[in-house]
Structure 1
């Protein structure tokens, strides 16, 4: 049997090798809504549906959370050109902060006015805030950028991130979850939005009524329990989306729990870190998503001494001391012990020729060495304690700061930026993840999972190549056919699969059909 499989695989590889050389540098338009870019987790790596490791490297652009109800800066820049500029410079992943309030309003058919300069953005004239969000999603799709939506605060407020919890007096835990369900349902068939960051920077200190904790309870303010509950309801709608869970601010030291009270003049009974940056609780109380555990990513935030002079920023600190004093026990162990992947959701700051730059370079180098995903804070010029990647026209880049970030963007040795889309290249100087892994759709690893296949709700004419019956002919069908030919599966997901797989209608399913299917997916005339 092994010889037969090896021979068949050889024939397929040989036949595909004889195809004409294909350039994937197609026009930057959505080739089709095939949804073959969903990601999942293998150990401490984020991988595509074929098991290939990907590296999410991007930035934040806030505004949908502030009352602008669109990206800040669209009052002076062209949104589409700004997003294109990100893609051209290698931003493959965009974290978009938003408020529960705005999502709730959208879900109720309410569309607050957005601050848009119609003269600079004539194509946006007359669009409401939800339509502006959809326009941003479409632009990202066009340029090969993927998105993580971040629930930055319950209320829409430029200072909303100061509020420590995911619920307040107006927006309850149930509203928070239900709005995320609404968002998930709306975009479940669009793999431009790959991830949801459930809540930005849960925090609060012991003794406060508004403290996010992490333990085994079902208390209202237990972030671990709330995140699990929310994630499971989201994944029931879209089992392929990444769930991103941040940490808290404080965690009890061994021998104590959250009832411990610090005494004046004595060592604290708690470990402290940046808001959202304390993931020590994962060791004792890991997030449990059951059958969807492979969609979980943990996300710390980390900042430099210009944001706050933390105790680990003493004279002479360096990457090694930062790792020993802060990163290792708060979050790096999760990666090192292969518990789950990490994405550093916020890091960044001013260029000061001093300790802040030293911290940024140290963290950047650590993330590069360990291929840890990240989104830089931020694109915006108007971030008071960090500055941004652009100046106040929101289009001219700070080249010095970009030069610091650039080595941490996913790119080839010859400087081509690598996107997360299998068909659409990243910007004008980028390639697809398909090209990076050899210019063809690669064989999935033994542990790779194929995304859930929707059951058609209506009858339709069978299209040749649509072996999984989802109404599209794409790389997912190639995976199914390859697995069928190698006898890794006995049948296709739908009864029509074999008829669709017989591309030339000769009554057999073999390597000839594989060649024809690949040519169809790659838009080569059959």
Structure 2
């Protein structure tokens, strides 16, 4: 029995599983199996399972832990900082520091420019001496390339570094203050323009899973002081109804590429009980407030009654709040003595955390960050960081750029040096294995110089490669360190289910832990169980 079990390490997981069950392997050639496997441009798409977890193609949970890098939305026609530093090297630094995801602010305007092949309105802000690769001639001081060509070089370099990308429409018009506009359309660019731009982008990259997601619109906001500029959330088809706009645009995107994750942010306000969107902002005679308010894009109270409906594409929905500290705005929940518990009670739970806690959909905190002040702002960052770690909330830190006026960034000195103190605060919230290796969202490409691939982490299932912690430890084969992140209690349940299943060919017997992967740890524990050993299985969470 043991000889047969360990021999199956050399076979694909599906074959090994059937032979473990005492059944002859099906006559499927290795060439035919390879032909059915996704290629390296199509095997990293992510989806949401029934437990509101973001999972890979094999059903393995992943953790998106990235950062923001802006520039394309503000008129630079490229990432900010490329005016002084080498773009490829900065991307390499982001990967080496363990960020597996890059949220890139864009504008509807620049996407339509690229779609139509229009010339750059201004030369991309590239230092051609620091970036000879970004010149037409490939030499220092050469002619700077077209912005879309530069962008596609960034996509290529991210792919090689194990970084996945999400763009967000930060503003309709390209402008440094474009994010101040509350809605997804302006007099210059309509809702239809916005949908066209994102549908084109989704179609253009539908065969490149480096682009994993689209954040539909950064921070829809507005209050009842200017109702025709207030993003609302209800069941209407009004032009300012963010829910209706998000569902409409998402449908256009997912028609082009049904594999993309679609991030939907919230609004700024939502009517209190007994009031609706016709209410004024406040009754100044009694100082009665008629709306619940929070950060721009951070209010999902409307989703409790009117959840986003993507129909057959519901498995691609992720809600994406933003949250900031008192140095951005002294919100009322930042009173003296605030704690993680008071923040959860006063803001986080009712505005966004209920969505994940109640299993509606996963969350990705699209923006969080700020200055290291040694005080309340740093306290807030620490509380939110720890809360996201504890609840495995996906996130993209704001931001890499040093030139974010109200938060600062991960780098300084003209993008040349890392703020090690701030990075030390963020680092524990980056996806790592027990050996401190950063985990890529790519199945084959490790994340930078200090990381591993997703297959390295979970085990490839069809080679001798196993998860980094899948080691047989003499005298301690039941250690909870056998498999990092595997639910061992669930594995025992699946073994029992397997033994009672008559049709082993349809029972996926190789998947004893429910994660779609057959590894050394499965073999050891399964063998002990089948040999009648007194096995104490523990539940271990990475």
TM-score by shorter chain over 0.5: yes
The 8 Å contact of residues 21 and 504 in structure 2, kept in 1 or not, is answered as no
The 8 Å contact of residues 18 and 504 in structure 2, kept in 1 or not, is answered as no
CA-CA distance at 1:487 after TM superposition: 4.5
Relative to structure 1, is the Cα distance of residues 192 and 356 closer, same or farther in structure 2, using a 3 angstrom cutoff?
A: same
Relative to structure 1, is the Cα distance of residues 370 and 399 closer, same or farther in structure 2, using a 3 angstrom cutoff?
A: same
Instruction: Quote the Cα distance in structure 1 between the aligned partners of 2:18 and 2:178.
Output: 58
The 8 Å contact of residues 366 and 396 in structure 2, kept in 1 or not, is answered as yes
1:89 maps to 2:97: yes
Cross-structure match for 1:304: 325
Relative to structure 1, is the Cα distance of residues 387 and 13 closer, same or farther in structure 2, using a 3 angstrom cutoff?
A: farther
Cross-structure match for 1:185: 203
Q: Secondary structure at the match of 1:98?
A: strand
TM alignment of 1:240-389, pairs within 5 A: 240-261=259-280, 262-264=282-284, 265-389=286-410
- Residue from 455, 460, 481 that aligns with 1:434: 455
- Residue from 111, 116, 122 that aligns with 1:108: 116
CA-CA distance at 1:413 after TM superposition: 1.3
The 8 Å contact of residues 388 and 429 in structure 2, kept in 1 or not, is answered as yes
- Residue from 42, 60, 64 that aligns with 1:35: 42
Instruction: Quote the Cα distance in structure 2 between the aligned partners of 1:418 and 1:185.
Output: 28
TM alignment of 1:228-247, pairs within 5 A: 228-247=247-266
| 1:344-392 CA-partner distances (Å, limit 9, x unpaired) | 0000000000000000000000000000000000000000000000013
Q: Secondary structure at the match of 2:129?
A: coil
Instruction: Quote the Cα distance in structure 2 between the aligned partners of 1:198 and 1:297.
Output: 11
Q: Secondary structure at the match of 2:327?
A: coil
CA-CA distance at 1:110 after TM superposition: 1.0
- Residue from 111, 118, 129 that aligns with 1:119: 129
CA-CA distance at 1:394 after TM superposition: 1.3
The 8 Å contact of residues 320 and 366 in structure 2, kept in 1 or not, is answered as yes
The 8 Å contact of residues 111 and 130 in structure 1, kept in 2 or not, is answered as no
Cross-structure match for 1:151: 169
Instruction: Quote the Cα distance in structure 1 between the aligned partners of 2:52 and 2:462.
Output: 23
4+ residue runs over 6 A deviation = 5-8, 12-15
Instruction: Quote the Cα distance in structure 2 between the aligned partners of 1:414 and 1:100.
Output: 42
CA-CA distance at 1:255 after TM superposition: 1.6
The 8 Å contact of residues 165 and 210 in structure 1, kept in 2 or not, is answered as yes
Q: Secondary structure at the match of 1:260?
A: coil
Cross-structure match for 1:221: 240
Cross-structure match for 2:221: 203
Instruction: Quote the Cα distance in structure 1 between the aligned partners of 2:327 and 2:338.
Output: 14
TM-score normalised by L of structure 1: 0.79
1:165 maps to 2:172: no
CA-CA distance at 1:393 after TM superposition: 2.6
Q: Secondary structure at the match of 2:149?
A: helix
CA-CA distance at 1:111 after TM superposition: 3.3
Instruction: Quote the Cα distance in structure 2 between the aligned partners of 1:119 and 1:328.
Output: 50
Instruction: Quote the Cα distance in structure 1 between the aligned partners of 2:342 and 2:224.
Output: 27
Q: Comparing 206-215 with 405-414, which one deviates more in the overlay? A: 206-215
Instruction: Quote the Cα distance in structure 1 between the aligned partners of 2:252 and 2:165.
Output: 20
The 8 Å contact of residues 60 and 379 in structure 1, kept in 2 or not, is answered as yes
| 1:216-264 CA-partner distances (Å, limit 9, x unpaired) | 1000000000000000111111000000000000000112110012211
Instruction: Quote the Cα distance in structure 2 between the aligned partners of 1:218 and 1:282.
Output: 16
The 8 Å contact of residues 8 and 486 in structure 1, kept in 2 or not, is answered as no
Q: Secondary structure at the match of 1:303?
A: coil
Instruction: Quote the Cα distance in structure 1 between the aligned partners of 2:455 and 2:22.
Output: 19
Cross-structure match for 2:68: 60
Unaligned runs of 5+ in 2: 1-12, 24-37, 136-143, 464-502, 509-542
Q: Comparing 40-49 with 369-378, which one deviates more in the overlay? A: 40-49
Instruction: Quote the Cα distance in structure 2 between the aligned partners of 1:144 and 1:47.
Output: 17
The 8 Å contact of residues 434 and 441 in structure 1, kept in 2 or not, is answered as no
CA-CA distance at 1:186 after TM superposition: 0.6
Instruction: Quote the Cα distance in structure 1 between the aligned partners of 2:430 and 2:310.
Output: 30
The 8 Å contact of residues 298 and 323 in structure 2, kept in 1 or not, is answered as yes
Q: Secondary structure at the match of 2:332?
A: coil
Q: Secondary structure at the match of 1:94?
A: strand
1:414 maps to 2:435: yes
CA-CA distance at 1:13 after TM superposition: 9.9
Q: Secondary structure at the match of 1:385?
A: coil
Q: Secondary structure at the match of 2:182?
A: coil
| 1:455-487 CA-partner distances (Å, limit 9, x unpaired) | xxxxxxxxxxxxxxxxxxxxxxxxxxxxx9934
The 8 Å contact of residues 37 and 421 in structure 1, kept in 2 or not, is answered as yes
Relative to structure 1, is the Cα distance of residues 53 and 260 closer, same or farther in structure 2, using a 3 angstrom cutoff?
A: same
Relative to structure 1, is the Cα distance of residues 186 and 14 closer, same or farther in structure 2, using a 3 angstrom cutoff?
A: farther
Taking only aligned residues, the RMSD between alpha carbons, in angstroms, comes to 2.1
CA-CA distance at 1:34 after TM superposition: 3.4
Instruction: Quote the Cα distance in structure 2 between the aligned partners of 1:69 and 1:116.
Output: 9
Relative to structure 1, is the Cα distance of residues 279 and 432 closer, same or farther in structure 2, using a 3 angstrom cutoff?
A: same
